[in-house]
Structures are given as structure tokens and as C-alpha cells.
Amino acid sequence: MKYTFPKNFFWGAATSATQSEGREANDQKGENIWDYSSVKYNYRFYQGVTTEQTSTFYKEYKEDVQRMADLSFNSFRTSISWSRLIPDGVGEVNQEAVRFYRNMLEELNQKGIQPFINLYHFDMPMKLQEKGGFENREVIEAFKKYAETCFELFDDLVAYWFTFNEPMIPAEAGYLHDRHYPYVVDFKRAATVMHHIILAHCEAVKSYRAAYQGKIGIIMDIIPVYPRSQNPADLKAAEMADLFYTRSLNEAILKGAYPAELRPILEQYDQMPEVTSEDLALIKETTIDLLGVNYYKPRRVKAKEYLVDVNGIFSPEWFFDDYIMPGRRMNTSRGIEIYPEAMYDIAKKIQNDYGNIDWFISENGIGIQNEEAFIEEGMVQDDYRIDFVKEHLQWLHKAMAEGSNCLGYHMWTFVDCWSWINAYKNRYGFYRMDLETGEKTVKKSGLWFKTVIENKGFD
Ligand code: BGP
């Protein structure tokens, strides 16, 4: 075989609680920002589909775990819903939720599928959002207690824990770019949210290390930034995009300190959040065991075309423009570029800049609109998805041959699920979900992925 992968490579898929569980009458789940905003701001969601109609993992976890086993997965990531487990975020634990999560985790373990459990996937309990969410320092303490509750209740069934999925997103999408609730547009508030999320991550890792022996990490993206040209102005633009959107978070988590260049810029524009010396000490002492990397698209940038209005709202986009590269290969459903080579660049970056830490691809995938058009004889013939995964794995394989410590590959996602904003517009799953009947049917890519797992590679 041309592309072989190690014997213990993690093969599987990822999802998140809010996107896949669905809600049942009497499940006693509390409301989170998605339950709230998908109703209150329904027009912001594709075809107005709310979290009421997400996939049915809560009800059908047994059948779903069997579906994973049918594809020979050896691992699977989902998240615990904070507002399901602790409906108001800080008080009583919902025993229905404890039963569900324990049963689901037992089912995975029995089927030989290693659960990777994430604590926070964009889903702040509404009661805590009303107090300011992660903008409020008190919520760090609430998150720490929630994390400790999860460890106590489920650690006997979980060997791999993750604190956050893409921690930059709640800050960037919720407080700067108007995509996620609370739809604030204010850089300093976004920076405060991100700083507090980093501290919440550190606190959870600290609590875990004090009492448990498994692995704990975080899931982020390490989006490579590609400048339009080698012109110094384009290079500077790329440097700034990288500083704000990658290094700011990644160096805090992986190197124990924010990049030194950040503070003078934030101070110059009066955008520096409150950061204490105790905060910096905590960040410095926190390390992780395993890094998950989500990769969908590269970031291409160029120098600014026009001068910015420095009296307007501060933004990292003051320093660069996105670059639409002529001839780029597009996933037109999602409106994003497909660039598999970045898998290699990401791996190299981890190897060279972040100490070659143990890591895995925790999400990669392709969301396609109107996938029913590809159904033949009852099965989605998604050869495009097979090609997509193959190409990404080939670049990953090359980096691994050159010494990258990549331990696995998880696809986004297992069964078509609800997406933030796009709801069910773009389908990502190895299984198709029929929204009318709830029926789940394997796609061609799912069967192909099974052969890759069983053969530990492909030609
Ligand atoms: C990632 C998120 C996932 C998932 C995925 C697909 O960034 O971690 O939760 O949604 O993106 O993207 P989208 O849903 O925007 O199409």
C-alpha cells in the first residue's frame, strides 16, 4: 500500500453536543445560547432550523454507536453539553444527563471506540450568558466547577479530555464579527472573552492534573497564512493576520505566553484587556498532553487596498485584506477554498514551532449542499468526499514520514448534523440524515473510510 498509517492511529469522526444530540421532552436540559438565538434570531439561521431539530444522538446513541462500529471507528469525539448537565450552569446536576452521558460512554467503550470528550463547543448556558458569559471573570470559576463535575462523573469512562473546541470562535464570532450570539462588535470585549477562555482552559487542566491520570488537551486551528506575494507589504499583512488570529491564542496555549508584539499594538489602540500577572503565571505553567487541530481552509492575505478609518471600530482587518487567489479551488457550497497541502504545512508548523507535540487532526471535512442530487440506488455517491479525504491524508502522510507526531485523523462528521448558522444546508457526514424521516444511511465515503481503517491506509 502506498499510504500506510501506524497501527494505533486514531480513526473516527467528531461532532458536538448542540449539533447532534437534539432535545427530548422531559430531558431537563437547560437553555444555551444556541437554543435561545436560533429561536429569537431565527432569520439568521438557514431555513430557520433551530436546535430543536438537530440530529437524534440523545435518543439514538446506541444505534449511532453501532453505526460507528460498522465503519470500524476506533475513536469518536463529542462534547458534553454544559447546559444539559447543569441546566443553569452552576447549580444542580441533571441526573437524566448523567444517565445519558454514562450510557453513551459505556456503549462506546464496549464497542472498542475510544471516547474523546470535549467540555465546551461554543455552547454557553443561557443563564451564564445573561451574566456576561466569558466576558465575566466569574464564569471562569463556573467553568472550572463544571469541568471538575465532568471529571468526577465520567473520568472512569474517558481517557482523552479536551477543554475547548476552537476557543477563538466564541470570541471572534460572538464579539467581533457578528456571527454568533451575543452578536457584539467590539474588539476589546472579544479580546477579554478570549483571555478568559484561555484562563478557563488553564484552570480545567490544573484541576484535571491534580486528580486524574488520563490525557488532557485542547482543540484549535492552526490556520496557515499565505501572503499574496513576497512583497514586504504582503508579508507584513500575513504577519499581522497570523499574529492576531493564530499566534495570539496558540502561543498562549502551546508556548505559555502571548506573543510579545501583541501588547504594544493593543495598547496603542486602547484595546488591551485586563491581564494580571497571576493570569500570565497560570498561562505559563499550563501545558497540554494532546493537541487537536481542526482544518478546513487556508488563510490568504494581501496588503490593504485602502486606508482604514482609524476612528472606526478597531479590528485586526485594519492590517490586512483577505486575498482571493485567482484559480483557487473552491468548495462552492461552503464558499471556502480547498487546499490539502496545508495539512503538511500545519504538521511542519507544529514540528518546528510547537515542539513537535503529540497532535491529531480533530476535524477535517467537506460540506456539500443538495447532496440528495448524488443519491443513486439509495446511497449518496460522494466520490468528491473520498477524493477530499485522500488528498488531505496524503499530505499528512508525507509530514508523518518526516517525523511529525500526528496520532490520528477525525472527520467532521459522523452523521450529517446541524451547523452554526448554516443549519442543515451543507452536509458533512459519513451517514446521510433524512430530515423528513430521521433515517440515517451510509454514504459511499463511509464505506471507503472503513476500508482505510481496516487496511491502515490506502493506495
Ligand atoms: C468547525 C466547528 C464545527 C463544525 C465545522 C463545520 O469550525 O468546530 O462545529 O460546525 O466547523 O463548519 P460549518 O458548520 O460552519 O459549515
- Residue 410 beta carbon below 6 angstroms from any ligand 1 atom: no
Q: Is 363 a catalytic residue?
A: yes
pLDDT at 55: 87
- Residue 422 beta carbon below 6 angstroms from any ligand 1 atom: yes
Q: Is 166 a catalytic residue?
A: yes
- Residue 118 beta carbon below 6 angstroms from any ligand 1 atom: no
* Nearest protein CA to atom 10 of ligand 1, as residue: 419
Residues ≥6 apart with Cβ < 8 Å to 71:
430, 442, 446, 447, 449, 450, 453
In angstroms, what is the span from residue 430 Cα to ligand 1's centroid?
15
pLDDT at 53: 85
- Residue 315 beta carbon below 6 angstroms from any ligand 1 atom: no
CATH of the domain at 286: 3.20.20.80
Domains in the chain, number: 1
Residue-number span of the structural domain to which 454 is assigned? 3-458
Where does 155-294 have alpha helices with state H? 168-175, 187-211, 232-242, 248-254, 262-268, 277-285
H or E segment to which residue 114 belongs: strand 114-120
In angstroms, what is the span from residue 89 Cα to ligand 1's centroid?
24
* Nearest protein CA to atom 12 of ligand 1, as residue: 419
Residues ≥6 apart with Cβ < 8 Å to 62:
107
In angstroms, what is the span from residue 420 Cα to ligand 1's centroid?
7
- Residue 412 beta carbon below 6 angstroms from any ligand 1 atom: yes
| Nearest atom, ligand 1, residue 16 CA | 9
pTM of the model: 0.98
Which of 412, 414, 417 has the most ligand 1 atoms within 8 A of CB, as the residue to mutate?
412
- Residue 363 beta carbon below 6 angstroms from any ligand 1 atom: yes
CB atoms within 10 A of CB 258: 19
Which of 49, 332, 364, 419 has the most ligand 1 atoms within 8 A of CB, as the residue to mutate?
419
Cell of 394: 496524503
The angle formed by the CA atoms of residues 97, 98 and 102, to the nearest 5 degrees, is 115
- 256 vs 280: CA distance, rounded Å: 8
Which of 420, 422, 425 has the most ligand 1 atoms within 8 A of CB, as the residue to mutate?
420
* Bond into 182 cis (ω within 30): yes
* Nearest protein CA to atom 6 of ligand 1, as residue: 419
- Residue 67 beta carbon below 6 angstroms from any ligand 1 atom: no
Encode the chain (459 residues) as per-residue pLDDT tens digits. Answer: 899 999 999 999 999 999 999 999 899 999 999 999 999 999 999 999 999 888 899 999 999 999 999 999 999 999 999 999 999 999 999 999 999 999 999 999 999 999 999 999 999 999 999 999 999 999 999 999 999 999 999 999 999 999 999 999 999 999 999 999 999 999 999 999 999 999 999 999 999 999 999 999 999 999 999 999 999 999 999 999 999 999 999 999 999 999 999 999 999 999 999 999 999 999 999 999 999 999 999 999 999 999 999 999 999 999 999 999 999 999 999 999 999 999 999 999 999 999 999 999 999 999 999 999 999 999 999 999 999 999 999 999 999 999 999 999 999 999 999 999 999 999 999 999 999 999 999 999 999 999 999 999 999
pLDDT at 238: 98
Which of 20, 363, 421 has the most ligand 1 atoms within 8 A of CB, as the residue to mutate?
363
Nearest alpha carbon to residue 100 among 59, 69, 52: 59
- Residue 426 beta carbon below 6 angstroms from any ligand 1 atom: yes
Query: Is residue 59 within 8 Å of residue 21, measured between CB atoms?
Result: no
Which one from 21, 166, 172, 371 is the annotated catalytic residue?
Answer: 166
| Nearest atom, ligand 1, residue 365 CA | 6
pLDDT at 54: 87
Query: Is residue 320 within 8 Å of residue 302, measured between CB atoms?
Result: yes
**Phi, psi (rounded to 5 degrees) for 223:** -70, 120
In angstroms, what is the span from residue 203 Cα to ligand 1's centroid?
26
